[in-house]
């Protein structure tokens, strides 16, 4: 399941965490929240960010000639 978790701390700091995303899709999916909040101060990428969404490559065998 894909989730975007937003934590708001007493000092006004807002932390966004994404779960269930693979590759760089988490950046795009959470961008609307960052646009609403303003300037991003720090970004910490988790190992799932570096996992590519590999699209299977179809290989065709020559059937004629």
Is residue 29 in a domain? Answer: yes
* Upper half-sphere CA count for residue 34 (Cβ side, 13 Å): 14
Are 30 and 39 a contacting pair, CB within 8 Å?
no
Is residue 63 in a domain? Answer: no
Is residue 14 in a domain? Answer: yes
Rounded to 5 degrees, what angle do the CA atoms 5, 36, 45 make? 45
* pLDDT (0 to 100) of residue 60: 66
Is residue 60 in a domain? Answer: no
The domain tally of the chain equals 1
Is residue 57 in a domain? Answer: no
* pLDDT (0 to 100) of residue 5: 92
Nearest to 43 by CA among 16, 25, 7, 8: 16
Nearest to 55 by CA among 21, 23, 19: 23
pTM of the model: 0.65
Digit-by-digit pLDDT tens for the chain (65 residues) are 999 999 999 998 899 999 988 888 888 888 999 899 888 888 888 888 887 656 565 666 666 65
Q: Domain range spanning residue 36?
A: 3-50
């Amino acid at each position: 399941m894909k989730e975007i978790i937003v934590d708001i701390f007493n000092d006004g700091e807002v932390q966004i965490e994404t779960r269930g995303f693979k590759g760089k899709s988490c950046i795009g999916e959470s961008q609307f929240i960052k646009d609403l909040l303003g300037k991003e101060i720090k970004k910490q990428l988790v190992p799932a960010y570096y996992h590519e969404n590999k699209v299977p490559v179809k290989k065709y065998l020559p059937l004629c000639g």
